[in-house]
Amino acid sequence: MATIERSLVIVKPDAVQRGLVGEIVGRYEKRGLKIVAMKFEQVSEETAGRHYGEHKGKPFYDGLVSYITSSPSVLMVIEGPDAVNIVRTTNGATKPGEAAPGTIRADFGVTIGRNLVHASDSVESAAREVGIFFGDGGIVEWNRAIDAWIVED
């Protein structure tokens, strides 16, 4: 049986403003990943500060916080085998100009500052980030009828 991982995904304000939420969510689902939590909210400065805490003091920190708090985002927990890697591959490289064709960032992004999506970079980061945005609740454990056709035993 494959090891199931979780990743935090943020469909960022630029993607929400551009009406790309459905397209982006659909790409994760089409890959075979499962949404186990989702909410639509404007990220607070406090939450953004915890999320981007490792960058505090760097020249780009204030811009990150300003951007993520500027408009609503869609926050999700995505689950599946090798979910962290698969989500990041689906997103594409951080710089849209370097992203592989067919990825979210290559298809819809132009600049690094408006790169549409965030995804956890490791299982450990995912656990920390899910805790920041979802706390101890909000994740739904459920089985899809199609899982047997996506994940081998």
Whether 151 is in a domain gets the answer no
The answer to the question of residue 47 being in a domain is yes
Total length of the chain:
153
**CA pair distance 51, 128, nearest whole angstrom:** 9
Q: Does any domain span residue 117? A: yes
What is the tens place of the pLDDT at every residue in 101-130?
A: 999 999 999 999 999 999 999 999 999 999
pLDDT in tens, 1-21: 578 999 999 999 999 999 999
Within-domain flag for 60: yes
The mean pLDDT of the chain is: 96
> The domain containing residue 110 runs over which residues?
4-138
Residue 89 structure tokens: 């591959």
Proportion of the chain above pLDDT 90, given as a percent: 94
What pTM does this model have? 0.95
Q: Is 149 exposed, middle or buried (0-12, 13-18, 19+ CB in 10 A)?
A: exposed
Catalytic residue among 76, 118, 119, 129: 118
CATH number at residue 18: 3.30.70.141
Q: Is residue 123 part of a domain?
A: yes
- Mean pLDDT, residues 55-84 taken together: 96
Q: Decide: residue 44, CB within 10 A, 0-12 exposed, 13-18 middle, 19+ buried.
A: exposed
| C-alpha closest to that of 45 among 73, 69, 64 | 69
Residue 150 burial class via C-beta count within 10 angstroms: exposed 0-12, middle 13-18, buried 19 and up: middle
| 51 has catalytic annotation | no
In-domain check, residue 152: no
CA distance 11 to 145: 26
pLDDT value at residue 2: 73
pLDDT grade for 137, boundaries at 50, 70 and 90:
confident
What is the tally of structural domains in the chain? 1
